[in-house]
Amino acid sequence: MSGYVTFMMGGREMAGRLAEVREVVRAVGIEPLPGARAPVTCLLTLRDVPLPVVDLRSGADARDVGDVLVLLADATPDQEVLGLAVDQVLAVLGPEDLVPLGGDALTWRSLPSYVLEVRRNEAGRAVFVVSLRALAGLVTV
């Protein structure tokens, strides 16, 4: 599946590739895991199944409502999943809805390694296209 899911994280619009996402759910009832260390710090019960969650929302606590991107642990749908809590999911977009930003690629070298590219949305704002699995700490880029 091609395209993007766009979301807000710390006031910044980001996009992840749809191929990495199984579903989007509300972040209601996330329970902190006492003593847990990053990247997995919370647990969400999804259809009676515990789902480990990486919560990257700045200053969030378990009562904050946001969204959870349920990520595939790898590229096959039958593999285990992991949740990635974000501030808010905005939209699902087709591949043509985010256009290349242009400019010199050297400009973007100082961005974190999970940022794959920078594109522009229909409003003309820059959107960081990220590897969701790298953002969640599943892989290194």
- Assign residue 83 the CATH number of its domain: 2.40.50.180
Neighbouring CB atoms inside 10 A of 9's CB total 19
* 84 touches 30 (CB < 8 A): no
Specify the DSSP class assigned to residue 76.
S
Residue span of the structural domain in which 71 resides: 4-135
Question: Average pLDDT of 127-135?
Answer: 91
Q: What percent of the chain has pLDDT over 90?
A: 35
Number of domains in the chain: 1
Q: What does the pLDDT look like over 53-84, one tens digit per residue?
A: 888 776 655 556 688 889 876 555 555 788 99
Is the pLDDT at 108 greater than 80? The verdict is no
22 within domain boundaries: yes
86 within domain boundaries: yes
10 within domain boundaries: yes
Alpha helix ranges (H) inside the chain: 132-135
Q: What does the pLDDT look like over 29-41, one tens digit per residue?
A: 888 888 877 777 7
